[in-house]
Amino acid sequence: MTTFRKAVQGEGFAISAELTIGKESTADDIRRQADSLAGLVDGIQVTDNPYAWVQMSALAASSILVEHGFDPVPIMTCRDRNRFALQSDLAGLQAVGVGNVMLMRGHRVPKNHSVPASTVFDLTGQELIALAASLDGDFFIGTGARLFRPGPRWQAESLVRRAKAGAQFLQTQICFNMDVLQRYMKQFLAAGLERDYSVMVSLSPLPSATTARWVRKHLSDSRIPAEVIRRLEGAADPEQEGIRICAEMMQQIAEIPGFSGVNLMTTGDPAALRETIRASGLKD
């Protein structure tokens, strides 16, 4: 099995994709989605209660994936668990054979959320990275990165600190803005950060202009140009147009030196992820 780490750090273009998971998901759901992506992805990402929606735990879903022959990339944040619980989950992931983790601080539970849960934030994102790196074993550790247009003197102090703590790959927010991608990578390389990190860009096959606007509103760091929304609005079949747009972006990102691959975030339709990867032509 080609592992996510080998693909991301290798010479080719890596692709990972998210599972669509809810609190009603079963082990069979996880296996069916993984089978639909077989041969098309190098890793399968498992989210950690995104947008404060309850779902099957990343540890449980990752264990199912490992047993089924896939390489999971569980996401862990500091919002919902203190340092004891986080270390316990990391030990559990190691025990079931998970070799990758995506570690971030996470976002607060939104105001007026239907579940009035408290946030924890016992650790910072950097402290969680250091905790994972300190454990026996060898996690391939990822952290989040915000794409923007950095100036010529940008030294990315936060990224440097997280690399020293143990992070090895970056995963960006959703970005369909080619100018931002190109300018960011130019300064990323100028700062010599490619010695510390491989970089994965997040994309998603947006099925409608309504979804694109929701992402822009609720994921404030996302980069979705007005042209993408116009294409979705004017399309006879918005779902297929969203797949085409995403596949085109994948092809363009693969041509930019410095980017290692993309991660496809789910919009609730696992089949759309499979169709997007095939449409990109980046995997046999």
- CA 259 – CA 12 distance, rounded (Å): 10
Whether 47 has a pLDDT exceeding 70, the answer reads: yes
Q: Contact 39/64 with Cβ under 8 angstroms? A: no
If one counts every other C-beta atom within 10 angstroms of the C-beta of residue 4, the result is 27
CA angle 202, 14, 51 (to 5 degrees): 25
- CA 39 – CA 232 distance, rounded (Å): 29
Whether 52 has a pLDDT exceeding 80, the answer reads: no
Cα dihedral 231, 237, 239, 245 sign: negative
The DSSP annotation for 175-200 comes to B--HHHHHHHHHHHHHTTGGGT-EEE
If one counts every other C-beta atom within 10 angstroms of the C-beta of residue 150, the result is 17
pLDDT tens digits for range 1-21: 559 999 999 999 999 999 999
- CA 174 – CA 28 distance, rounded (Å): 29
Q: What domains does the chain contain, in order, with CATH numbers?
A: 4-279 (3.20.20.220)
Whether 275 has a pLDDT exceeding 80, the answer reads: yes
pLDDT tens digits for range 194-226: 999 999 999 999 999 999 999 999 887 999 999
What global pTM score does this model have? 0.95
